[in-house]
Amino acid sequence: MPDLADIFKWPPDPYILFLTGAGFLIALVAWLPLALKKLPLSLPIVCIGIGVGLFATGEMPVNPLPWNHQVFVEKFTEFVVLVALMGAGLKIDRRFSWRKWGITWRLLGPTMLLTIAAITWAGVALLGLPLPLAILLGGALAPTDPVLASDVQVGPPKTGEEDEVRFGLTSEAGLNDGLAFPFVNLAVLLAAFYTEGKPWVAEFVLHSVLWEIGAAVALGYLVGRAFGWVTFHIPAETKLAQTGDGVIAVAATLISYGLCETAQSYGFLGVFVTAMSIRASHRSHEFHREMHDFTEQIERITTMVGLLLFGGALVSGLLVPLTLADWVVAILVLLVIRPVAGLIGLASFRADWREKLTLSFFGIRGVGSFYYIAYGLNHMAVEGRERLWAIVGLIVLLSILMHGLTVTPVMRWIDRSQGRDPDADEEAADDEKEDTSAQPQAA
What pLDDT score was predicted for residue 424? 58
Does some domain include residue 430?
no
Backbone angles phi, psi at 83, to 5 degrees: -65, -40
Does some domain include residue 33?
no
Does some domain include residue 282?
yes
How far CA 288 is from CA of 187, 232, 249, 348, in Å, comes to: 38, 10, 9, 34
Does some domain include residue 10?
no
Does some domain include residue 41?
no
Does some domain include residue 407?
yes
What pLDDT score was predicted for residue 343? 94
Contact 108, 176 (CB under 8 A): yes
What pLDDT score was predicted for residue 277? 94
Does some domain include residue 16?
no
Does some domain include residue 205?
yes
Q: Helix/strand/coil (H, E, C) string of 149-179?
A: CHHHCCCCCCCCCCCHHHHHHHHHHHHCHHH
Beta carbons within 10 angstroms of residue 243's beta carbon: 12
Backbone angles phi, psi at 361, to 5 degrees: -75, -40
Backbone angles phi, psi at 143, to 5 degrees: -70, 140
Contact 65, 313 (CB under 8 A): yes
CA–CA separation, 412 vs 38, rounded Å? 9
The count of domains in the chain is 1
CATH of the domain at 227: 1.20.1530
Q: What is the pLDDT along the chain (443 residues), one digit of tens a residue?
A: 555 555 556 556 677 777 787 788 778 777 777 766 666 677 888 889 989 988 888 777 788 999 999 999 999 999 999 999 999 999 988 888 888 898 999 999 899 999 999 999 999 999 999 999 999 999 999 988 888 877 788 888 877 667 888 888 889 988 987 889 999 999 999 999 988 888 889 999 999 999 999 999 999 999 999 998 888 877 766 666 666 678 889 999 999 999 999 999 999 999 999 999 999 988 888 888 888 888 988 998 899 899 999 999 999 999 999 999 999 999 999 999 999 999 999 988 888 888 899 899 988 888 999 999 999 999 998 888 999 999 999 999 999 999 888 888 888 888 887 777 666 555 555 555 555 445 544 33
| Furthest C-alpha separation in the chain | 81
**Domain membership of residue 237 as a residue range:** 50-414
